[in-house]
Amino acid sequence: MYSHALLTPEQMYRADALAVAAGVSSLTLMERAGRAVAEEILRRFGARPTLVLCGPGNNGGDGYVVARLLRDWGWPVRVALLGETARLKGDAAIMAKRWGGPFESVTSVDGAGLIVDALFGAGLSKPLSDQIVKLSSAVKVPVVAIDVPSGIDGATGAARPAAFRADLTVTFFRKKPGHVLMPGREYCGETVVADIGIPDRVLDEIKPPLMENFVPELPQAGPNQHKYRRGHAVVVSGAAHQTGAARLAARSALRVGAGLVTVASPKAAMAANEAHLTAIMLAEADDALALGRLLADRRKNAVCIGPAAGVGAETRAKVRAALASGAAVVLDADALTSFALAPDELFEAIAETPERAVVMTPHEGEFARLFKDLVKESDSKCERAIAAAKRSGAVILLKGPDSVAANGEGGAIVNTNAPPSLATAGSGDVLAGLLTGLLAQGMEGVGAAAAAMWLHGAAAGKFGRAGLTAEDLPDLISCGIPQNPLL
Ligand SMILES: NC(=O)C1=CN([C@@H]2O[C@H](COP(=O)(O)OP(=O)(O)OC[C@H]3O[C@@H](n4cnc5c(N)ncnc54)[C@H](O)[C@@H]3O)[C@@H](O)[C@H]2O)[C@@H](O)CC1
Ligand SMILES: [K+]
């Protein structure tokens, strides 16, 4: 159940402690951790002069194990220690003794063909010293980081100045948020999760609420399926010269399996929409009142508003009409910005019908407009999204290379399959459409958000060459949606 879980450093300490309580000694965990790192190194690199940089805590302890094993396997290994051997404690002191070789001070990386970064892991608590900053800036050879690259916050992915840039990071039991959130993910290079014998059942006690790439079961059309049972999605069109975004969203909703999709268009944009739509239906809804009337038909069970909707009172009124309809609502782009001066009005309107799903899909700029005080550097992207979900009563899909979907109960899913090619005009409209299509098929909010961002990334990944445009994306969804795309 917790195969996709992410553990904060605190939760990882707890997992270690529960494993120890269950009879695995902490020294055994350290030996296995170091062995796992050494084996991953052996798998990727030929023997070469290796410098293991060891810090004062247990991350350094893992480093001594790596040094001993590589040396025993015939590698030329040096160990540099930050601090003094006399001050080492517990398991790290034991492993330093078992290394049995000389200790250098941490002054230079000259002569090394590979660096093992065992300076700081979960225990990083302050900025890197000038001495370490100088050292990390001088590294020109491959770096293998133990647990996390030194200088990266395992809980948030934040990078201290001159954090180590690893080619490979080996962590233990489960990834930490810092391995998947930016910029941490970039500093980790390839991340490998090693099994060090912590039993999975410790997670039943910890109940980690954060996950990576978790996609719930997707809706499937059965043999007796009828289009009216697959939901009816409505996408609100922008003005006459701003209709493309809504059509991209509408096409995506249809591709992802909504039974019917209607574009609700202002009168002046009818001709433009009509000229471009075939399988997707078109209905005139010139103002909020008309949109409310259209949505009074309860078979229309999911609405998307925001893509090129325009910023202002008209969009605010349409958002209120969508929220009052009782349908699931996706609020994107201009629908969010329209409430920048009065976010509480939006949250109050959401609170009026708490039983239906509302999902907001802000990028960082839109997020900052609605949740100014939640933009704190010390908080992880997951914490910010969860806090925003709690305040707004909506599921928050906070977009970026590390999109996060969070609900008000404190759960969050980080998506890591999105290639950089998704940073293209209209890509967000497709995401909003996928989400609307999944909600129309009855998925609950955070599940639909997780599935939409995963399918979005997977579609872009399938394109597999330069030149991806948002128009390509809906058709790449059509390659069949497996029951669980991660299997
Ligand atoms: N039983 C366990 O808890 C296990 C822990 N393991 C390893 O243990 C690590 C955690 O060990 P620790 O909790 O000892 O933490 P660390 O080894 O990450 O660092 C803690 C030490 O570094 C100092 N420190 C922190 N930031 C500093 C900075 N910027 N400049 C100078 N000194 C700084 C702290 O004062 C403390 O002495 C994990 O990352 C993992 O590598 C593994 O051996 C697996 C088992
Ligand atoms: K490290």
Instruction: Render pLDDT for 87-100 as a digit per residue (tens, 0 to 9).
Output: 999 999 999 999 99
> Is the distance from CB of 250 to CB of 279 less than 8 angstroms?
no
Distance 151 CA to ligand 1 centre (A): 12
Task: State residue 478's pLDDT score.
Answer: 63
CATH class of segment(s) 5-208: alpha beta
Helix (H, G, I), strand (E, B) or coil at 388: helix
Distance 253 CA to ligand 2 centre (A): 44
Q: Which of 33, 54, 57, 56 is nearest to 115 (CA)?
A: 54
Which sign does the torsion angle of CA 452, 457, 460, 464 carry? negative
Which sign does the torsion angle of CA 42, 45, 46, 47 carry? negative
DSSP code, position 152? B
CA separation, residue 413 to residues 63, 172, 260, 427 (Å):
32, 20, 29, 20
Place of tokens 């009172």: 313
DSSP code, position 215? -
Distance 119 CA to ligand 2 centre (A): 5
Task: State residue 262's pLDDT score.
Answer: 98
Task: State residue 378's pLDDT score.
Answer: 81
Cα angle 232, 235, 236; round to 5: 140
Task: State residue 210's pLDDT score.
Answer: 98
Task: State residue 480's pLDDT score.
Answer: 54
Question: ω before 183 within 30° of 0 (cis)?
Answer: yes
Distance 383 CA to ligand 1 centre (A): 23
Strands 328-332 and 404-406: unpaired
Task: State residue 482's pLDDT score.
Answer: 59
Given ligand 1 and candidates 59, 85, 152, which is best to mutate, with the most ligand atoms within 8 Å of its CB?
A: 59
CA separation, residue 102 to residues 51, 77, 109, 401, 459 (Å):
12, 10, 16, 43, 53
Task: State residue 112's pLDDT score.
Answer: 98
Task: State residue 377's pLDDT score.
Answer: 77
Distance 93 CA to ligand 1 centre (A): 13
Q: Where are the domains of the chain?
A: 5-208, 227-477
With respect to CATH, is domain 227-477 assigned 3.40.50.720?
no
Q: How far apart are CA 310 and CA 266, in angstroms?
A: 12
Q: Is the CB of 11 under 6 A from ligand 1?
A: no
Q: Which of 324, 332, 330 is nearest to 302 (CA)?
A: 330
User: Does the interface ipTM go beyond 0.95?
Assistant: yes
Helix (H, G, I), strand (E, B) or coil at 52: strand
CA torsion 419→413→403→444, rounded to 10°? Answer: 100
Q: Residue 292 has which token pair?
A: 């409310």
Q: How far apart are CA 152 and CA 344, in angstroms?
A: 35
Run of H or E residues at 26: helix 26-44
Atom of ligand 1 nearest to the CA of 20: 1
Q: Which residues of the chain have pLDDT under 70?
A: 221-226, 228, 478-487
CA separation, residue 58 to residues 185, 188, 259, 449 (Å):
22, 19, 56, 38
Q: Is the CB of 21 under 6 A from ligand 1?
A: no
Distance 483 CA to ligand 2 centre (A): 38
Task: State residue 464's pLDDT score.
Answer: 83
Task: State residue 486's pLDDT score.
Answer: 58
Task: State residue 223's pLDDT score.
Answer: 67
Given ligand 1 and candidates 125, 144, 171, 188, which is best to mutate, with the most ligand atoms within 8 Å of its CB?
A: 125
Q: Is the CB of 30 under 6 A from ligand 1?
A: yes
